[in-house]
Amino acid sequence: MADPTGVVKRPRRLAPLDGLRLVAALTVVFYHYIGQGTRAWGADTSHLFPRAHPIVSYGWTGVQLFFLISGFVICMSGWGRTVGDFAVSRVVRLYPAYIAGVLLTSAVITALPLVTERPTPGRVLVNLTMLQEAFGVQHIDSVYWTLWAELRFYLVFSLLVWCGLTYRRAVLFCVLGVAATILADHSDNRWVLMVVQPENLPFFIGGIAIYLMYRFGANALLWAIVAACYVLGQRQMIDRLDVMADATGAHGSAWVAGGLLLAFYLLIIAVAFGAFSWANWGWLTAAGGLTYPLYLLHEYIGWTLIKRFQQALPRQVLLLAVVTGMLALSWLVHRMIERPLAPRLKRWLKGVLHAFRRDHAERTALPGQPAAPGQATAPGQPTAPGQAPLPQRQPAAPRIARQRSPIAARTGAPGVGCLTAPAPAEHSAG
């Protein structure tokens, strides 16, 4: 149901989306522990877990589910914000848990270098910036590659936020993103490939299009964008099957990969349209808070624990213990680091941003100068002795503000007396 501005009324909190984020994280966790865990177990995991291995060998697709959700959430986060506020929200969301993850992982693999080499102090310091891939420095944990993909997308999306997010501009961004994916896929220019990242962009764009459906309602153009993103994303996933076969030892099916991606799209669309509104449980939101720390911490720390205790415990018991331990550690990072530090970091960054804006305003403001003798002065200002005051301009009659039509509000078209509905509350990003 739409209000007079054309904005569709939806629930302000999407707890089922938090549940999907946790599902995506757990699929990646089990992929690394069973599908790709030979380094940790010291033996072929397809023989150690013969029933689970063929299933979890597709767990790498959880990253694509993350990217879809991220496109949805980033569009929600940027709506109605300045580019500075958008940047602050992303820094606050990403860095506290990330820095904790880098330090904890570095400490574990330094003390017990069982599955990877000890990192140098310089490598750790560069990793703390989250820009290590840009500098050609190896990740402390290989899962960090997705954060570099997220950062590049944030940078491109921030241009849209800087222009001002409207329905029309967001749709244009999606259309240009689809076109850029197609063109960049045939390019050999490394800068084009780094900025556009055609291997990931369709998933982000698909999430944005679904958010536009969530906020404004569905139409043929948005469905076409979603369909195009699905086709492009499916192609990217099929191209990765051979690479993943080398990592897991299992040759995946293009039909299964495409079916999983279709299921991801349908689930997020269902959440956006309220099909799971009955599952608005608080524990899903709490579980969603564990997702990001779990993703950051699970791989090398989990592999180290498996390697260290594989002779002491049965493999099924050890697997369950490690997953439970990673969930507990993730909760501690969320509760003891993210929750206390994020508000403080946000206040500090807001203060820096406010000081920058104030300084910029002072530098660009024209200083008031007294008028020289015989020079005309502005209405209402004092005049030279013996000079008659200038007549003041009468205020113009107020114009009647016209109400913006639902179509104009829906498309973000300019108008007088623009009515805007409050943006949905920001959802925790992944």
The lowest-confidence range among 36-45, 141-150, 180-189, 191-200 is 36-45
| Cβ-based neighbour number of residue 15 at 10 Å | 21
The lowest-confidence range among 223-227, 315-319, 414-418 is 414-418
**Band of residue 69 on the pLDDT scale cut at 50, 70, 90:** very high
CA pair distance 352, 128, nearest whole angstrom: 21
Contact between 428 and 18 under an 8 Å Cβ cutoff? The reply is yes
Per-residue pLDDT, averaged over 73-82, amounts to: 91
**Band of residue 318 on the pLDDT scale cut at 50, 70, 90:** very high
3-state secondary structure labels for all residues of the chain = CECCCCCECCCCCCHHHHHHHHHHHHHHHHHHHHHCCHHHHCCCHHHHCCCCHHHHCCHHHHHHHHHHHHHHHHHHHHCCCCHHHHHHHHHHHHHHHHHHHHHHHHHHHHHCCCCCCCCCHHHHHHHCCCCCCCCCCCCCCHHHHHHHHHHHHHHHHHHHHHHCCCHHHHHHHHHHHHHHHHHHCCCCCHHHHHHHCCCCHHHHHHHHHHHHHHHHCCCHHHHHHHHHHHHHHHHHHHHHHHHHHHHHCCCCCHHHHHHHHHHHHHHHHHHHCCCCHHHCCHHHHHHHHHHHHHHHHHHHHHHHHHHHHCCCCCHHHHHHHHHHHHHHHHHHHHHHHHHHHHHHHHHHHHHHHHHHHHHHHHHHCCCCCCCCCCCCCCCCCCCCCCCCCCCCCCCCCCCCCCCCCHHHHHHCCCCCCCCCCCCCCCCCCC
Q: Answer whether residue 413 shows pLDDT above 70.
A: no
Looking at residue 351, its pLDDT comes to 86
Looking at residue 274, its pLDDT comes to 87
Q: Answer whether residue 350 shows pLDDT above 50.
A: yes
Q: Distances in Å between the alpha carbon of 429 and those of 13, 21, 78?
A: 13, 9, 11
**Band of residue 366 on the pLDDT scale cut at 50, 70, 90:** low
| pTM of the predicted protein model | 0.80
What is the per-residue pLDDT across 175-233, written as a single tens digit (0 to 9) for each? Answer: 999 999 999 988 888 899 999 999 999 999 999 999 999 999 999 999 999 999 999 99
Looking at residue 13, its pLDDT comes to 61
Contact between 262 and 230 under an 8 Å Cβ cutoff? The reply is yes
Per-residue pLDDT, averaged over 336-348, amounts to: 91
**Band of residue 377 on the pLDDT scale cut at 50, 70, 90:** very low
In the block, tokens 């222009």 appear at: 163
Counting beta carbons within 10 angstroms of the beta carbon of residue 136, is it exposed (0 to 12), middle (13 to 18) or buried (19 or more)? exposed
The lowest-confidence range among 134-138, 179-183, 251-255, 287-291 is 251-255
Q: Answer whether residue 385 shows pLDDT above 70.
A: no
The lowest-confidence range among 31-45, 365-379, 409-423 is 409-423
More confident of the two residues 224 and 424: 224
Per-residue pLDDT, averaged over 34-58, amounts to: 88
Q: Answer whether residue 279 shows pLDDT above 60.
A: yes
More confident of the two residues 217 and 376: 217
More confident of the two residues 397 and 358: 358
Mean pLDDT over each residue of the chain, to the nearest integer: 83
Cα angle: 225, vertex 231, 232; to 5 degrees: 90
Cα angle: 23, vertex 24, 26; to 5 degrees: 65
Q: Kindly state the tokens that stand for 383.
A: 């005049």
More confident of the two residues 166 and 42: 166
Per-residue pLDDT, averaged over 156-161, amounts to: 94
CA pair distance 46, 35, nearest whole angstrom: 8
Looking at residue 105, its pLDDT comes to 97
**Band of residue 410 on the pLDDT scale cut at 50, 70, 90:** very low
Q: Answer whether residue 93 shows pLDDT above 80.
A: yes
Looking at residue 245, its pLDDT comes to 73
In the block, tokens 């200002």 appear at: 381
| Cβ-based neighbour number of residue 413 at 10 Å | 14
Looking at residue 182, its pLDDT comes to 93
Please name the amino acid found at residue 104. L
More confident of the two residues 51 and 412: 51
Q: Distances in Å between the alpha carbon of 102 and those of 99, 140, 235, 345?
A: 5, 7, 33, 18
In the block, tokens 């944030």 appear at: 154
CA pair distance 167, 172, nearest whole angstrom: 9
The lowest-confidence range among 50-64, 221-235, 275-289 is 275-289
Share of the chain above pLDDT 70, in %: 80
Torsion region of 112: left, alpha or beta (phi above 0 gives left; psi -120 to 50 gives alpha): beta
